[in-house]
Structure formats: structure tokens, C-alpha cells
Amino acid sequence: MTGHLRDDNPYETRSEMFEAFKQSVSGFQDGNKLAMILVQFPPWFDCSVKNVNYIRYVKQQLEEFPIAIEFRNSTWYSEDRKAETIRFLKEQGFIHTVCDEPQAGVGSVPFVVEATHEKALVRIHGRNVYGWRNSGSTENWREVRFLYDYNEEELTDMANKIRNLEKLCKEVFVLFNNNSGHHAADNAKTLQKMLELEFDGLSPKQLDFFEGEF
């Protein structure tokens, strides 16, 4: 669906593939448990007429779902295209995905505090430039690609940016993806405290018989 396929495609047509996906998530939509569908494009998906048209096609195929678009190619945010990218996402009704990730050339994007929908998504991937550039080059690349532990200064800056983003929309969803070294949960808890967030009505926590609650 996003161009990441590395093996044979089990579907005869692209529309068949989208239909299978819609069936797999429709239950969440019906149960009001689906905030959005994340459509994350690969680093080679650059800003071009062909790719803009494909995004329109994705919209047609998934029109009943809220869709968040994540780019991994900096051409979408170049000086002469950034405003057009944001305008396009807004006109099409897409949720803009704001990313914090290693600044590693064209295969990465800057942190762009822009909202194009009443919802915004922030994905936090870490800042491991070496791991980001060498994705897939070794058998254990997944162990280093997202290996990063944000320090307090970085998280404070992140909190300020998220507060600014919050002024532009109704809801901000934040996902930590720096999971190669199990830093995501601790970083998320720290950011939650910085933003003074408290949540009610959460499901019971699972018990860990050896260390207490997870």
C-alpha cells in the first residue's frame, strides 16, 4: 500500500489489497476505537506528480477512515514545496504526521509544527543518524535504527513544540518509536509528566509477578 513491499504481492490487484486492509480494521472503526490510519511512505517516495496522484488514490480507497500521512523524504518539506505540501494535506483532509527523527539527508524529514486536520500525530523515532542511514544493511539493523534515549533537555524542547502544535488542532497523538533499546516507554512517561497529562478510565494494568506492575 505504501511501496514498502519486498516480497511477492499476494493480491492480484491494488484495489483488492486495499479492500482486505479495510476489512481488517473496520471493527475498530465500528467500535469507535480507531483514531486514524497511518500511511507511512518510504524514504524513496519523493515529492513528484506521480506520488501526489498516488496519495489521492489512497484517499479514494480509504475515504471512510481518518488518514495520517507520514513522509520520510525531505523533498516534501523543501523551501519551495513545504507550504504546498501542507496546503495539499489540508485540502485533502489528511492528518499531518510531525516527525522527530535523525537528520540524515534526503531520507529524513525535519520537525514541522503544522496541523492540517483537527487531529495531529507526532511520531518520535530517536536521533540515531548512523542507525537511520544503515537501515537494512546488516542482520541486526533493527537493533540500532531506533536506538536512542532522549535526555531531559531534548524532551523539554519536544514538550514545548507539542504545546505549540496543540494550539493548531483539537487532539494531538504522540507515539514514541525509539524502541530498539526499550527507551520509548520511559521517554513517554517523562514527556507525559512534562505536559502534565493524566488519563482516566484506563484499562487495568497487567501484573508482573517479579517486578510489580508493568
**Is 29 a member of any domain?**
no
Q: State the Cα–Cα distance between residues 42 and 75, nearest whole angstrom.
A: 12
**Is 15 a member of any domain?**
no
Residue 53 has which C-alpha cell?
496522484
Q: What is the pLDDT of residue 204?
A: 74
H or E element, residue 39? strand 37-40
Return phi, psi of residue 45, to 5°: -85, 90
Mean pLDDT estimate for the chain: 91
Question: How many domains, in total, are found in the chain?
Answer: 1
**Is 28 a member of any domain?**
no
Q: Does residue 176 carry a pLDDT above 90?
A: yes
**Is 157 a member of any domain?**
yes
Give the DSSP letter string of 86-107.
HHHHHHHTPEEEEEE----GGG
* Residue 113 and residue 161 in contact, taking contact as beta carbons nearer than 8 Å: yes
pLDDT single digits (tens) 122-148: 999 999 998 888 766 565 777 888 999
**Is 3 a member of any domain?**
no
Tell me the residue range of the domain where 103 lies. 34-181
Q: What is the pLDDT of residue 203?
A: 75
**Is 164 a member of any domain?**
yes
**Is 38 a member of any domain?**
yes
Most confident of 107-111, 138-142, 195-199: 107-111
Q: Does residue 211 carry a pLDDT above 90?
A: no
Residue 124 has which C-alpha cell?
518520535
**Is 45 a member of any domain?**
yes
Q: What is the CATH number of the domain that holds 40?
A: 3.20.20.410
- Full-model pTM: 0.89
Q: State the Cα–Cα distance between residues 203 and 69, nearest whole angstrom.
A: 29
Q: What is the pLDDT of residue 52?
A: 98
